[in-house]
Amino acid sequence: MPHSFPGHYPATRLRRGRAHDFARRLSRETKLSVDDLIYPIFVTEGEPVNVTAMPGVQRHTLDGLMREITDVVALGIPAVVLFPVIDPDKKTPDAEEAANPDGLIPKAVRAIKREFPELGVMTDVALDPYTSHGQDGVIDGDGYVLNDPTVDILVRQTLAHADAGVDIVSPSDMMDGRIKAMRAALEQNGHVNTIIMSYAAKFASSFYNPFREALGSAGNLGKADKRTYQVDPANTDEALREVALDLKEGADMVMVKPGMPYLDIIHRVKETFGVPTFAYHVSGEYAMLKAAIQNGWLDERAAVLESLGSFKRAGCDGVLTYFAKDAARYLASN
Ligand code: PBG
């Protein structure tokens, strides 16, 4: 009976700390809370539509948006991020509508801030909802996205959002030098406290497809891709260089996108820079989980809390997720 001999027992029994719930609670290293959540919302100029590949997600009219926001505030979620579904008639090669001070997004921002001044409102700065070709910038005859002319429009878009009262502008375009240009324009126009959360390390991912359906840009983009500006999924050092540049240019917070396939990047970013770090748990990640959940193959509550918890463990301060409302409910009843 070797187990009865002194010295034959394991010196360390890690299971001892796992044996009771109180001990597991006491030694838990990271915790997800409602304070970590940012909820993405699609707002449309047209009819409300369910997004097929994202069960539970809709394009909302301005009225529908205000109902969503009421829920979000009641759940205690600190911030939302808005994405516009633009009328196809308003899409042009140069995305002029993106800088319209009375466009859909400035209107939505004003409406939210009027009723819920405490809620953090974040907007996406990028041209893909507004271009007739679905790219995030203006293109030349070969379809190549032109950097500096795109930055000019992004700056005007930024100011249209800031003038409407947005709290955080969030450029998702991956043009070089855009943070510097946006920061300068914000400062020069008196918006000293407008936060920039840059999509610093945004990868050319296959996980954005459901979002492009939601936005109505998939058809415009066709078979084209975004690999001449988004980071190659195989790269790490390049992602860190992007983050370093964005911080130097004036970003306050940085984001890694997509989320779960890129936890290694999140970890390196947080360790290297120690700045507020966020992840975008993107549409394709949501779609995958939902598909399995709807088939009864995964338990929604457990899978969602474990997935979002992984971002905290990797080093994230917060996460943009379509599960934000569900997670807030689960956390409230934990
Ligand atoms: C585009 C943008 C994308 C997302 C956010 N902003 C898609 C893209 O780069 O094509 C993706 C978000 C998601 O998939 O949930 N500027």
pLDDT in tens, 274-288: 999 999 999 999 999
Q: How far is the CA of 32 from the centre of ligand 1 (A)?
A: 24
Candidate from 42, 85, 128 with most ligand 1 atoms within 8 A of CB, to mutate: 128
What letter does residue 3 receive in the DSSP assignment?
A: G
- Residue 91 to residues 71, 128, 149, 221, 252, Cα–Cα distance (Å): 31, 9, 17, 12, 31
The first and second tokens of residue 189, run together, are 């126009």
CA distance linking residue 14 with residue 240, whole number of Å: 36
CB atoms within 10 A of CB 91: 22
Q: Give the residue, by CA position, lying nearest to ligand 1 atom 7.
A: 208
Q: Where are the alpha helices (DSSP H) in 144-222?
A: 147-164, 178-188, 209-215, 218-221
The first and second tokens of residue 300, run together, are 């929604």
Atom of ligand 1 nearest to the CA of 124: 6
Atom of ligand 1 nearest to the CA of 209: 14
Candidate from 282, 290, 322 with most ligand 1 atoms within 8 A of CB, to mutate: 282
> Which of 163, 158, 165, 204 is closest to 180 using CA atoms?
158
Q: At what angle are helices 263-273 and 237-249 packed, to 10 degrees?
A: 50
Q: Give the residue, by CA position, lying nearest to ligand 1 atom 14.
A: 208
Q: How far is the CA of 65 from the centre of ligand 1 (A)?
A: 20
Q: How far is the CA of 304 from the centre of ligand 1 (A)?
A: 21
CA distance linking residue 284 with residue 240, whole number of Å: 24
Q: Find all residues with CB under 8 Å of 307, minimum gap 6, and list them.
A: 260, 281, 285, 289, 323
The alpha carbon of 296 is separated from its chain's Cα centroid by a whole number of angstroms, namely: 27
The first and second tokens of residue 172, run together, are 């998702």
Q: How far is the CA of 210 from the centre of ligand 1 (A)?
A: 9
Please provide the size of the chain in residues: 334
- Residue 43 to residues 100, 135, 194, 198, 331, Cα–Cα distance (Å): 16, 19, 22, 21, 27
The first and second tokens of residue 159, run together, are 């100011």
Atom of ligand 1 nearest to the CA of 217: 10
Q: Identify residue 243 by its one-letter amino acid code.
A: V
Q: Which residues line ligand 1 (CB under 6 A)?
A: 124, 126, 128, 136, 172-173, 208, 211-212, 226, 282-283
Atom of ligand 1 nearest to the CA of 126: 16
Q: Give the residue, by CA position, lying nearest to ligand 1 atom 10.
A: 208
Strands (E) located in the chain: 37-44, 49-50, 58-60, 79-85, 120-125, 168-171, 195-202, 253-257, 277-281, 318-321
Question: Taking CA 239 as the corner, what is the angle to CA 237 and CA 244, rounded to the nearest 5 degrees?
Answer: 95
CA distance linking residue 201 with residue 324, whole number of Å: 22
Give me the residues of the chain with pLDDT under 70, please.
1-6
CA distance linking residue 216 with residue 243, whole number of Å: 29
Q: Active-site residue numbers?
A: 202, 257
